[in-house]
Amino acid sequence: MVMSAQSDALRVLADPLRRQIVELLSREQLCNCHLVEETGARQTNVSNHLRALREAGLVETEPQGRYTYYRLRPDALERLAAELSDLARAARTRELPKRACE
């Protein structure tokens, strides 16, 4: 399907902890250890969520020695925002017709 990427991004962003990680990364590039510290979650847990975010194309990694820095990929967020905005606009521009029943 065409929108599978955006749907995936939506699904991934729906988790509260991932959502928090994304917000933290929108201000700074951080490595796993910082995220563990900020969120209070276990390292394993953070790492799992980072993988989900990575596979959805929402973040990218930059290994640096034994640390791994994570940063947001704005494009994915931007595409998602645009799609939602389109839906909102479609629903607002006109008085939508009601389909008749039966």
Query: Contacts with a copy of itself: how many residues (CB under 8 A)?
Result: 44
Question: Given candidates 10, 24, 45, 73, which one binds DNA under the rule CB under 7 A?
Answer: 45
Q: Token digits for 83? A: 């799609």
CB burial of 13-24 (b: ≥16 within 10 Å; e: otherwise) equals beeebbebbbeb
For residues 61 and 25, give the distance between their C-alpha atoms in angstroms, rounded to a whole number: 12
Q: Is 99 in the site for a copy of itself (CB under 8 A)?
A: yes
Minimum CB separation of residue 65 from DNA in Å reads 3
State the amino acid at position 54 in one-letter form. Answer: R
Binding residue for a copy of itself, selected from 2, 17, 33, 47, defined by CB under 8 A: 33
Select the residue interacting with DNA from 4, 27, 65, 93 (CB under 7 A). 65
Task: Name the helix (H) or strand (E) containing 61.
Answer: strand 59-64
Contact footprint for a copy of itself (CB under 8 A): 7, 10-11, 13-14, 16, 19, 22-23, 25-31, 33-34, 67, 69, 71-75, 77-78, 80-82, 84-85, 87-92, 96-99, 101-102
